[in-house]
Structure 1
Amino acid sequence: MAVVPVYNHPRAIGGVVAALRAAGLPCILVDDGSDADCAAVLDRLAGDGVEVLSHDRNRGKGAAVASGFRRAAQRGYTHVLQLDADGQHDTAALPTLLAAAHANPGAVIAGYPVYDDSVPAIRLYGRYLTHIWVWIHTLSLRIRDSMCGFRIYPLRPTLALLAHAHVGRRMDFDTEILVRLDWAGVPVVNLPVRVRYPQDGVSHYRMGRDNLLLTLMHLRLFLGMLPRAPQLLRRLFRGRP
């Protein structure tokens, strides 16, 4: 099952859904309060293995993904492939990610981006700051990239985490849930995914709001790491030959 959070990506979402359906994956498109034009596109895509789940207002990417996770579990699925709706991720990686999930059913299969020349430099450098913080939060290099929106989750530990832990509901979701799953002992398998930034791409990143959310997230995770540090260090040293 694939879950795609959608907020005003009417031009890209059709291609994303076509690629997922070509791979044999049923889809839940979570309309996170999109405007009428995008909502109409989603309505046309519904059916033939595609379900549209709508939020009455924009609640954030993380809230949309969580809604999709819960619906997939209600329908009896054990794993969910999360893919962003903007069309930036190369869906040619789908077979590789799906094979890794079959081989590692208890793990998160996390894509990490391989960029072409279209990537804005500020995005690239900003990601490295988050990488450093994630390595501090986990006291390890187990997570190669925590921000990529192309990954496969095992639903049981993921839903258990969402039920009992604070996880950001907007742009802070992807990083926070991956760190907290790592803390819970869920393995992370990192796989490369090609990413491009089209000239006409739509970004919903809000510099002031989202930078504040990410700062607060890193503060939460750092404070959460401190009491877990002995356990994380034992885990690190047990992994050495």
Structure 2
Amino acid sequence: MAELGLLTMISTPHNVFKPCGLIPVYNHSLVLADTCKNLLDKGLPIILIDDGSNQACKDVMQNIIANNSTIKLVTHPNNRGKGAAIKSGIIAAKHHQYSHVIQIDADGQHNLDDVERFLNVAKEAPQALVLGYPSYDESVPSHRYYARYLTHIWIWINTLSTSIIDTMCGFRVYPVSESTALLSTSTIGDRMEFDSEFVVKWYWSALPITQHETNVRYPQDGISHFRLIKDNILISKMHAKLFLGMLWRLPRLLTRKFSGANS
């Protein structure tokens, strides 16, 4: 498999394929340095989004970026949410002329051995959103595992399609140009609802999607910022708004469904 340092120089039909890693950070200091080193060892530059972290985590990030020009740091003075961090990262990637960002969670859940595989998929389909869908080990909390299926059902309703396997896995590759265009024309939530809402609105825009399995684990010392009540309320409101949005798109979605496009 080609080294990513060489991969960035390969031309796509539209432009140069120049990916970077995107890591939203909010008080994730335990494994962040190892995650960054792993990506740098693969030849992949990084954008870190400090989403209002505490001083201890800020110190870790400053140590990571010291004397390393391949890591860019974007800082939110206050915590704005995972979705807001991803938006800032995609916009920063556009500013630095990256063509794609691969999102990596800072808590050690994602399998970094899959980075090259996902980026090679993106290189072959440069306008596609490359989604990971999780294969879990025994570390996954049972309530999280089964709760995902409620969101899956809502996604299938709001797209009139069962083709999307999972919208909650953060391990994915965003094409920067298409993503910034979507963000400029669509209102998408700033917190835990972002991942699913972005995928549905991407699907509504008839943009291509490719999906690939990836191992996901829940480290014993991992830090979750999911707010059980507040984020579930946000996600429920998001599904309700998407349902209303689906209703007025119903003729178009039905046409796509019966024509077999992205079904």
Q: Same-fold call, TM > 0.5?
A: yes
Distance in 2 (alpha carbons) for counterparts of 1:106 and 1:6: 27
Answering whether residue 133 of structure 2 is matched by residue 88 of structure 1, we say: no
Deviation at 1:25, TM superposition (A): 1.2
Deviation at 1:95, TM superposition (A): 1.4
Please give the residue correspondences for 1:21-170 in structure 2 after superposition, counting only pairs within 5 Å.
21-46=40-65, 47-170=68-191
Question: How big is each residue's C-alpha offset from its partner over 1:27-81, in whole Å with a ceiling of 9 and x where there is no partner?
Answer: 0000000000000000011124111111100000111111111111011112111
Could you tell me which amino acid in structure 1 is paired with residue 131 of structure 2? A
Question: How big is each residue's C-alpha offset from its partner over 1:166-222, in whole Å with a ceiling of 9 and x where there is no partner?
Answer: 101000110101110111011111101101111111110111110110011001111
Secondary structure of 1:153 counterpart = strand
Secondary structure of 1:76 counterpart = coil
The normalised TM-score by structure 1 is 0.97
Secondary structure of 1:54 counterpart = strand
Deviation at 1:23, TM superposition (A): 2.0
Distance in 2 (alpha carbons) for counterparts of 1:75 and 1:48: 12
The normalised TM-score by structure 2 is 0.89
Q: State which drifts further: 155-164 or 87-96.
A: 155-164
Answering whether residue 25 of structure 2 is matched by residue 6 of structure 1, we say: yes
Q: What is the aligned partner in structure 1 of residue 233 from structure 2?
A: 212
| 1:236 aligned residue (257, 260, 263) | 257
Q: What is the aligned partner in structure 2 of residue 189 from structure 1?
A: 210
Distance in 2 (alpha carbons) for counterparts of 1:222 and 1:115: 29
Distance in 2 (alpha carbons) for counterparts of 1:143 and 1:24: 31
Deviation at 1:142, TM superposition (A): 2.5
Secondary structure of 2:92 counterpart = helix
- Residue ranges of structure 2 left out of the alignment (5+ in a row): 1-19
Question: How big is each residue's C-alpha offset from its partner over 1:99-146, in whole Å with a ceiling of 9 and x where there is no partner?
Answer: 110111110000011000110000001111111111111111222110
Could you tell me which amino acid in structure 2 is paired with residue 73 of structure 1? K
Could you tell me which amino acid in structure 1 is paired with residue 223 of structure 2? V
**Dislocated runs of 4+, deviation >4 Å:** none
Q: What is the aligned partner in structure 1 of residue 39 from structure 2?
A: 20
Deviation at 1:225, TM superposition (A): 0.6
Distance in 1 (alpha carbons) for counterparts of 2:127 and 2:259: 20
Deviation at 1:234, TM superposition (A): 1.4
Could you tell me which amino acid in structure 2 is paired with residue 121 of structure 1? S
Distance in 1 (alpha carbons) for counterparts of 2:53 and 2:217: 23
- What's the Cα RMSD here? 1.3
